Amino acid sequence: MSLAFLVGIATVFLSLLGATVVALTWSNEIWLAGTTALWYGVALLMVAGFIRHCVTPVRSR
């Protein structure tokens, strides 16, 4: 993994962590639904990126 990729992941993680803290502090259902959707979106992107990373070297051979 490149340094830029790791920095990007860390930035997204910290921003989502901050959003989650705000949501839990405000205890507003809209904020909770929004942060949950963001977490699921990031998880899906990570899984898709991992699958793509695993499949790409096979195609390039």
Question: Domains of the chain: which residue ranges?
Answer: 11-55
Report the half-sphere exposure of 55 (CA within 13 A, side-chain side): 6
What is this structure's pTM?
0.44
32 in Cβ contact with 19 (< 8 Å): no
pLDDT at position 28: 66
| C-beta neighbour count of 59 within 10 angstroms | 6
First to last CA, the chain: 20
Question: What does the pLDDT look like over 20-57, one tens digit per residue?
Answer: 777 677 666 777 777 778 888 888 888 888 878 777 76
What 3-state DSSP class applies to 59?
A: helix
